[in-house]
Structure 1
């Protein structure tokens, strides 16, 4: 008997999660082949298994060259597909960048959602910064490296990443407001300032990592930041 539509939708959502887990967390226990097929089903049915595998495993062109610096030729070569297939599956370069950013948000940058679930504001900050260290040192912070500075041709990607960073700060601010309401932060604490402080440290970590700083030394920076946390 065919599954009801709602059941099929849930299966597709579960497949998407499995694809992301396998693509960015190879030790999650999901075979890469399953991730490739799930990715093709949910996002890019026109791609072959090999092309989907290439995109899942090799979005590094944007990390290394930024959106503006990455040429369509480089991106097409990294995916191992023709220009026609790339355009049919992803549209133009900006559309492909949006897709990679979605992968990044749900894969390497999933630490943001994990941090927001921590029970105290201090643990939120510590988890957020530890995640920033891990992601900035491997594979790299896409929100900083993707298009921090760009010309007119890179404006779309720059604006997209600016909005993405602003959403992250807003999530932190809202979480810290709740901490004030719960008594986890003092009544005079400034949630917006705390959110901007955490984001500034995280962005600095990303810049240092791009310059060659290693995980251990950057984790020391992340460990220092919560020591300045407002006392309850």
Structure 2
């Protein structure tokens, strides 16, 4: 599964062929079809495996583990800055970049990834609503807008890593982005 995940991460869904996958996985096409049914099913399983690995799980981990929303978003941004350009794996985020050029016949693959990204967006918004209710954010804060802002920054950081941005550059982006955090009511 790791070889398939890496290949989809490097090339995206559309540009990864069955031949590429079977070569990388060291299996025959018949074995791939017997184990996974088709390329889409293998892709979805690879994405789920990615989501359980450190490079994919850091967002959910930060939201669940940090005591404040600001600490959670700070951690997410700092970890993205280190994880996305890490040379130990393809740059960026698999769920952000794997379906950028999908044909109409594979629109469900793009929808699958969009749904995963929107699930993260909803988790951001939920955490920010809680922060507002607890007084961590001002009463005038817009949790939906803040969630969208942080999702946009994180997606942009993923693309910048794919374009060659370093951890130092992305850390600076994280620092600047977090400065947009609204001050709590007095």
Q: Could you tell me the TM-score, scaled by structure 1's length?
A: 0.73
1:136 maps to: 84
Aligned to 2:38: 92
Offset at 1:83? 0.9
Larger Cα Rg: Structure 1 or Structure 2? 1
The answer to whether the aligner puts 1:123 opposite 2:123 as a matched pair is no
Structure 2 unpaired stretches of 5+:
none
- Counterpart of 1:161? 113
Which of the pair has the greater relative contact order for Cα pairs under 8 Å at 6+ separation?
2
| Structure 2 residue 161 is the aligned partner of structure 1 residue 215 | no
Alignment check: 8 A CA contact 1:64 1:145 kept: no
Q: In the aligned structure 2, how far is the partner of 1:214 from the partner of 1:137?
A: 6
Q: Is there any run of 5+ residues in structure 1 with no aligned partner, and where?
A: 1-54
The equivalent of 2:22 in structure 1 is 76
Deviations 1:143-174 (A, max 9, x none): 22201232213312211110000000000100
SS in 2 for 1:228: coil
Matched with 1:202 is: 154
Q: Larger % of helix: which?
A: 1
> What's the offset of the Cα at 1:135?
3.0
92, 110, 113: which is aligned to 2:57?
110
RMSD: 1.4
SS in 1 for 2:155: helix
Following superposition, which runs of at least 4 residues in structure 1 exceed 4 angstroms of deviation? none
CA contact (8 A) 2:62 2:75 kept: yes
CA shift, 1:186, in A, is 1.0
CA shift for structure 1 position 131: 2.6
TM-score of the superposition, structure 2-length normalised? 0.90
